[in-house]
Amino acid sequence: MNISVIIPTYNRKETLSRALESVFEQTFEPFEILIIDDGSDDGTQEWIRENYPLVKYIYQDNAGVSNARNNAIRISKGEWIALLDSDDEWLPDKLKNQVRLINNNPSYKFCHTNEIWIRDGVRVNQMKKHQKYGGQIFEHCLDICRISPSSSLIKKSVFEEIGFFDETLKVCEDYDLWLRIAARYPVLFLDQPLIKKYGGHSDQLSKVLKGIEQYRIQSLEKIILSNILTKYQKNKAKDMLLYKLNIYGGGLEKRKKTKEIDKNKKKIQYWSTIS
């Protein structure tokens, strides 16, 4: 199996070393490793070329993580794509165990794993609401993002069939993609913690930006209006959208955002009448 490892980065030279070393320590050797540098100005380019000459390094002007991932996916030569965020790391058997599972289930095109969470240097337990699933998981993907990009292994043809990361989303671009994938394909889940996912640092996107729920609402609206959902999936997505709009509206009421409140109420009214 040919696997292209794609690591987007932006001014993360310190954590990038940890991520790269975890790839080199894999017991299954990937076909290629691509660093897509989204406009770093911290010396990343020189550091990579000096310390990791075998890595394919690509520089681009800053355009966001989704644009960086998409460009790297298009450039990649492997049949499968393994994503790794530059602040995360893989355990040594991550790829080997996923490849074994896929080889035993050759009809599947997507596989993800469980994970270890590290926040501010301390291991924390996942809450029940973050439980992960395999199989037909579309319904389970509607409330929150349950799949870490760093745990995913995706057949490249999937992107040609359902599209790439949505570059208009500042956050939740992974949630948006997983919805589209789970609507079309069954998913393999390897219930082993095979990545370390780090959080708490100041440049973490989900921490920097407020109002993350509005981006999930945007993704739900988009997929409902698409033609890829079954009637059952569409109804489930609409139910979740209305739930989130009401929760979001409550937050607007507390903050007395008059214009946004009126707009949100109109959305609720509109989606309540759509069958």
What are the tens digits of pLDDT across the range 34-84? 999 999 999 999 999 999 999 999 999 999 999 999 999 999 999 999 999
Which residues of the chain are under the pLDDT cut of 50? 206-208
- Let me know whether 134 and 179 are in one domain: yes
Query: Can you give the pLDDT at residue 124?
Result: 94
Same domain, 199 and 232: no
Three-state SS at 48: helix
Q: Kindly state whether residues 91 and 156 are assigned to the same domain.
A: yes
Count of domains forming the chain: 2
The two three-digit tokens of residue 44, written as one number: 């990343």
Residues 153, 258 within the same domain: no
HSE, CB side, 13 Å, CA atoms: give it for residue 201: 14
Predicted local distance difference test score (pLDDT) of residue 275: 76
Residue 118 has a pLDDT of 95
pLDDT value at position 203? Answer: 56
Plot region of 204 (φ>0 → left; ψ -120 to 50 → alpha; else → beta)? beta
187 and 78 part of one domain: yes
Point out the domain boundary residue: 147, 171, 204: 204
Give the per-residue pLDDT at 208: 44
215, 240, 243 from 255: Cα distances, Å: 19, 23, 19
Statement to judge: residues 28 and 48 lie in one domain: yes
Percent of the chain with pLDDT over 90: 90
pTM score of the predicted model: 0.94
Domain end point (choices 204, 233, 250): 204
Whether residue 159 is found in the same domain as residue 244: no
Same domain, 55 and 90: yes
Phi, psi of 269 (to 5 degrees): -60, -45
What is the C-alpha to C-alpha distance for residues 57 and 69, in angstroms, rounded to an integer? Answer: 13
Q: Give the structural domain span for 265.
A: 213-273
Q: Are residues 163 and 267 in the same domain?
A: no
Task: Judge if 220 and 173 occupy the same domain.
Answer: no
Domain CATH for 187: 3.90.550.10
Do both 242 and 148 map to the same domain? no
Both 160 and 250 in one domain: the answer is no
Q: End of a domain among 204, 224, 249?
A: 204
